[in-house]
Amino acid sequence: MIEISPRSSVGWQAQALAYVLALICGFATSALLIALSGASVTEGFGALYEGAFGSQEALLQSLVAATPLIFTGLATVIAFRAEIWSIGQEGQMFAGAMCGYWISLVLGAVTGWIAVPAILVAAMLGGAVMGGLCGWLKTRFQVNEIISTVMLNYVIVYLLSYLLAGGPWTEEGSTSYHQTPVFSENIRLPLIIAEVKLHFGFVLALLAAALCWVILKKTPLGFEIRALGFNPTALRFKGVNVTRTVLVVMCFSGALAALAGVSEIFGVNYRLRGDVMTGLGFTGIIVGMIGGLNPIGTVIAALLFGALANGSLYMNVLSDIPPSLVPAMQGILLLFFLSASVLVRYSIQFRRVAQ
Amino acid sequence: MTALLSPEILMSIMVAAMGVATVILLAAIGELVTERAGIWNMGVEGTMLTGCLMAYLAMVATGSPVLAGLTAIAGGLVAGLLIGFLTVTLRVDHFVTGLGFNLLASGLTLFWFRSYVGGGKPPTYDTIDKSPIPLLSDIPVLGPILFDQHLLTYVAFLSIPFIAFFLRRTTYGLETRAAGENPQFLEAKGLSVAKRQYSALLFGSALTALGGAFLMFAFADQFRPDISGGRGWLAIVAVIAGNWRPVRTMIAVLVFAILDSLAVHAQGVGVNVPYQFFLMLPYVASILLLVMIRSSSGQPAKLGVPYLRH
């Protein structure tokens, strides 16, 4: 029988050790997975490393791949810190990209310094409305936010499918690809390093992380968010409008997730299509949790996962291992991190107990 | 639109709905028992997906639906053990565990499927025939809907009274419910809360995986990534909408199943509403259902609260 009791305090060394151990266990299990699939472990991990960190170019491309994950990771942090289990990052990201595209159609050939901010704002509004809707359903009708956000994820995917395949945004002449025509220069995100498409979204992501850190640590809203997760009843007694806080959190989280869509569509792909965004919202959940629901930890986790995602492209070319190894690895890492977080918070004793 | 309302199409929608309902119902029954034991298992979608892949692999390898079903159940048991280890033994938050497990299952099944297929075409198999009940299946209207279905469909619907009886009348059923309502009471009687929660999770996960297997048997001739397509989530909604009661949960499942098969038929008949809007229906309906049904009187008192012995 395993006995678990809470620990009073843990040093940062023990915490760091637990997480390093989780990382090692995660990679060891993934190695086992590769071996079981009949491929060479060294070849697979070698190609993965080479593609992620092997050259300066690879390194910069990993930053590009990390950018949307920083946004969806931060969206997770803001919601989960308040113990609001939103898994709508995927749908909110789609909604953001769609609203950004829609406003770009409305604006037409306006110059870039008007068009790009307008796209960013429209996308954030779209994501905020999606998130806010679930917050409203939660506070007004007690609809569980996990359910409402998951269901809206499916709805928005079908909506995009309609718009691109048969609906008003269908590219003329193109039937096989569900995508819009390539965007004109004026609505693309400005590039920082053109060769690897490192775009302005990366800077924006770092700024967003800093903003989230300041909000969580230094502002009354941050206090309310943390207290909401800790003890909503006490918060209510302090005279805080909990309903309003939930709505603010969900809108804020949705707006952050929406920026992930903008950065992928307007920074990298230059056309709206669904499959290039698929999964980035869900990966953001893992990133946020592995980042310890802390903005700085989230940036670090996003950089790691961005590198993995970028490396998987190279691995796909060089070895027989399918690139779907990476989502499997991400899930494995997450479960080990969850277990490690328990090791940190509780002390575990093994002893015999009857029945 | 009127084409959808012709008697033949309506009939066909209802017949198909019973099949779709089987998938969601098996998972919903499993989740119902699990939640009554106090575990808010959010890993249903991932468990169902695991069942789908296991059934597919076994079906291709052996061609036997019985072995495929058993393999899926084995996969479900592994899923249940893992979720149980995290929630019951380690007391990780139930929501976080479920989300984590779903992401793991989505990634792992995809990786396994891709390495299995390699670069080639995924192998297919024949979907399973129905098992009509003699005489009864000849009854007009009701016969084809109720008595010309797959074996597992009968099992799923017939299990409703058994589950209701188990939870209300048997000792172990009452103890399972006590784990969700008042675990201290169980503990005080010298009974293990963990044991009841584990067994509920294992039972629930096995049924959920079997639901996934049925999805493969009746509707698909090969695995696709994320083929479960949210049906595991619909099972969770059905339990909440059904106020944690077996018969009401079944009714909620039927609503989703009818909407689901309506979407499939709308594509076939060629109504001039884009088919994507029909595909949205079950998901939109689930939110509306939760908005309308506000009663949560049947929710176990300690649902989702990790039990820490004092």
CA-CA-CA-CA torsion sign (B172, B175, B176, B177): positive
Mean pLDDT of B86-114: 92
Of B111, B274, B291, the CB nearest to A328: B111
CA distance B80 to A142: 28
Mutate to test the interface with B, among A290, A335, A346 (most CBs of B within 10 A): A335
């390194």: which residue's tokens?
A: A59
Query: Residue length, chain A?
Result: 355
Confidence of residue A308 (pLDDT cuts 50, 70, 90): very high
Chain B residue numbers with beta carbons less than 8 Å from the beta carbon of A33 are 108, 111
Of B97, B107, B280, the CB nearest to A328: B107
Burial B39-75 (b: 16+ CB within 10 A, else e): bbbbbbbbbbbbbbbbbbbbbbeeeebeebbbbbbbb
Chain B residue numbers with beta carbons less than 8 Å from the beta carbon of A280 are none
pLDDT at A91: 97
Q: B157: distance to nearest CA of chain A, Å?
A: 25
Q: How far apart are the first and last CA of chain A?
A: 9
| Residue B145: DSSP 8-state | I
CA distance B54 to B156: 20
Pairwise CB contact (< 8 Å): B97 & A338: yes
Q: Which residue of A has its CA nearest to B45?
A: A150
pLDDT at B72 over 50: yes
B267 within 8 A of B143, measured Cβ to Cβ = no
Chain A residue numbers with beta carbons less than 8 Å from the beta carbon of B89 are 2, 4
pLDDT at A350 over 80: no
Pairwise CB contact (< 8 Å): B96 & A289: yes
Element (H, E) at A349: strand A346-350
pLDDT at A181: 85
Mutate to test the interface with A, among B57, B103, B239 (most CBs of A within 10 A): B103
Q: A352: distance to nearest CA of chain B, Å?
A: 13
pLDDT at A19: 86
Of A155, A320, A332, the CB nearest to B283: A155
pLDDT at A354: 45
pLDDT at A261: 97
Chain A residue numbers with beta carbons less than 8 Å from the beta carbon of B281 are none
Q: Which residue of B has its CA nearest to A5?
A: B308
Pairwise CB contact (< 8 Å): B100 & A331: yes
**Six token digits for residue A206:** 């770092």
Pairwise CB contact (< 8 Å): B283 & A142: no
Q: B135: distance to nearest CA of chain A, Å?
A: 41
Chain B residue numbers with beta carbons less than 8 Å from the beta carbon of A229 are none
Helix extents (H) in chain B: 7-36, 44-62, 65-84, 94-117, 142, 151-169, 171-181, 183-188, 193-219, 231-241, 246-269, 275-292
Average pLDDT for chain B: 91
> pTM for this structure?
0.92
Pairwise CB contact (< 8 Å): A324 & B114: yes
Q: What is the pLDDT of residues B280-290, one digit of tens each?
A: 999 999 999 99
Confidence of residue A230 (pLDDT cuts 50, 70, 90): confident
Confidence of residue B132 (pLDDT cuts 50, 70, 90): confident
pLDDT at A8 over 90: no
Chain A residue numbers with beta carbons less than 8 Å from the beta carbon of B103 are 282, 285-286, 327, 330-331, 334
Specify the higher pLDDT residue, B10 or A302: A302
Three-state DSSP class for residue A271: coil
B203 within 8 A of B33, measured Cβ to Cβ = yes
Pairwise CB contact (< 8 Å): A158 & B276: yes
A242 within 8 A of A232, measured Cβ to Cβ = yes
Chain A residue numbers with beta carbons less than 8 Å from the beta carbon of B309 are 3
Task: Name residue A65's amino acid.
Answer: A
Q: Which residues pair with B178 in a beta bridge?
A: none
Q: In sequence order, which residues have a C-beta less than 8 Å from that of residue B135 and are 6 or more positions away? A: none
CA distance A58 to A315: 12
Q: B295: distance to nearest CA of chain A, Å?
A: 10
CA distance B89 to B278: 42
Q: What is the pLDDT of residues B247-289, one digit of tens each?
A: 999 999 999 999 999 888 887 776 778 888 999 999 999 999 9
Confidence of residue B198 (pLDDT cuts 50, 70, 90): very high
Specify the higher pLDDT residue, A227 or B308: A227
CA distance A352 to A350: 7
Classify the phi-psi angles of B3: left when phi > 0, otherwise alpha if psi is within -120 to 50, otherwise beta. Answer: alpha
Confidence of residue A1 (pLDDT cuts 50, 70, 90): low
Mean pLDDT of A298-308: 95
**Six token digits for residue B13:** 């929608």
Q: How far is CA B290 from CA A321, B237, B240, B302, in A?
A: 43, 8, 8, 21
Pairwise CB contact (< 8 Å): A285 & B103: yes
Specify the higher pLDDT residue, A354 or B183: B183
Three-state DSSP class for residue B149: strand
Q: B228: distance to nearest CA of chain A, Å?
A: 12
- The percent of residues above 90 in pLDDT, for chain A, comes to 62
Q: Which residues pair with A4 in a beta bridge?
A: A348
CA distance A340 to B236: 28
Closest CA to B193 of B280, B87, B274, B74: B87
Average pLDDT for chain A: 89
Q: What is the pLDDT of residues A148-188, one digit of tens each?
A: 999 999 999 999 999 998 788 887 776 667 888 888 888 88
Helix pair angle (A242-264, A280-290), 10° resolution? 120
pLDDT at B102 over 60: yes
> DSSP readout, A182-247?
PPPGGGSPPEEEGGGTEEHHHHHHHHHHHHHHHHHHHSHHHHHHHHHHH-HHHHHHTT--HHHHHH
Mutate to test the interface with A, among B31, B45, B49, B287 (most CBs of A within 10 A): B287
> DSSP readout, A19-62?
HHHHHHHHHHHHHHHHHHTTS-HHHHHHHHHHHHHSSHHHHHHH
Chain B residue numbers with beta carbons less than 8 Å from the beta carbon of A166 are 274
Pairwise CB contact (< 8 Å): A166 & B274: yes
Chain A residue numbers with beta carbons less than 8 Å from the beta carbon of B296 are 142
